[in-house]
């Protein structure tokens, strides 16, 4: 007697192996793409921070050019205190001035000179713990630099 087998369906083992295979592929896909998906906001946040710092510095430059073109001492006062969170030039975003010193050229570098009012070096950061900073050298058409051994 010949046995005939019904054709047209899958066996239980075939179905289970299919689910196991799909599970393994899904697990590999999640582990591969998961890290990339969770870190996509880092670049966006960094770009936003950089844009905010750039806006703050552009507003400082415009203010110095329009209101304090020949008076860096007044501009230095208007900037505010060092290491104190501020938002004057930030259009709502907070920033921190980490360095604000008068400097004079000495050879190929600048040296600190509190008696000078021709060049003001300003460094800003988004916050105290950030590694991102932006530095600008403001200059005045008035004033003088007297550095022993090389300045004029």
Q: In this predicted model, what pLDDT tens digit does every residue of 1-26 receive, in sequence order?
A: 677 666 678 899 999 999 999 999 99
In angstroms, rounded to a whole number, what is the distance separating the alpha carbons of residues 23 and 38?
21
Of the two residues 79 and 144, the one the predictor is more confident about is 79
* Complete DSSP assignment for 56-91: HHHHHHHHHHHH-TT-HHHHHHHH--TTSEE-TTTT
Contacts 24+ apart (CB under 8 A), 37-44: none
103-116: average pLDDT: 81
Indicate the pTM of the whole model. Answer: 0.66
> Which pLDDT score, from 0 to 100, does residue 150 have?
44
- Tokens of residue 45, six digits: 């946040």
């Amino acid at each position: 007697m010949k046995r005939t087998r019904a054709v047209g369906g899958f066996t239980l083992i075939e179905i289970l192996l299919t689910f196991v295979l799909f599970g393994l592929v899904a697990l590999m896909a999640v582990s591969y793409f998961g890290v990339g998906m969770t870190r996509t906001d880092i670049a966006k946040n960094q770009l936003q921070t950089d844009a905010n710092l750039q806006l703050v510095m552009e507003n400082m430059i415009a203010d110095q050019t329009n209101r304090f073109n020949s008076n860096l001492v007044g501009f230095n006062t208007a900037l505010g205190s060092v290491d104190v969170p501020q938002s004057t030039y930030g259009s709502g975003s907070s920033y921190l001035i980490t360095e604000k010193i008068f400097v004079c050229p000495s050879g190929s570098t600048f040296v600190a000179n509190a008696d000078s009012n021709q060049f003001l070096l300003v460094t800003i950061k988004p916050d105290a713990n950030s590694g991102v900073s932006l530095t600008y050298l403001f200059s005045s058409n008035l004033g003088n630099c007297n550095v022993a051994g090389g300045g004029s």
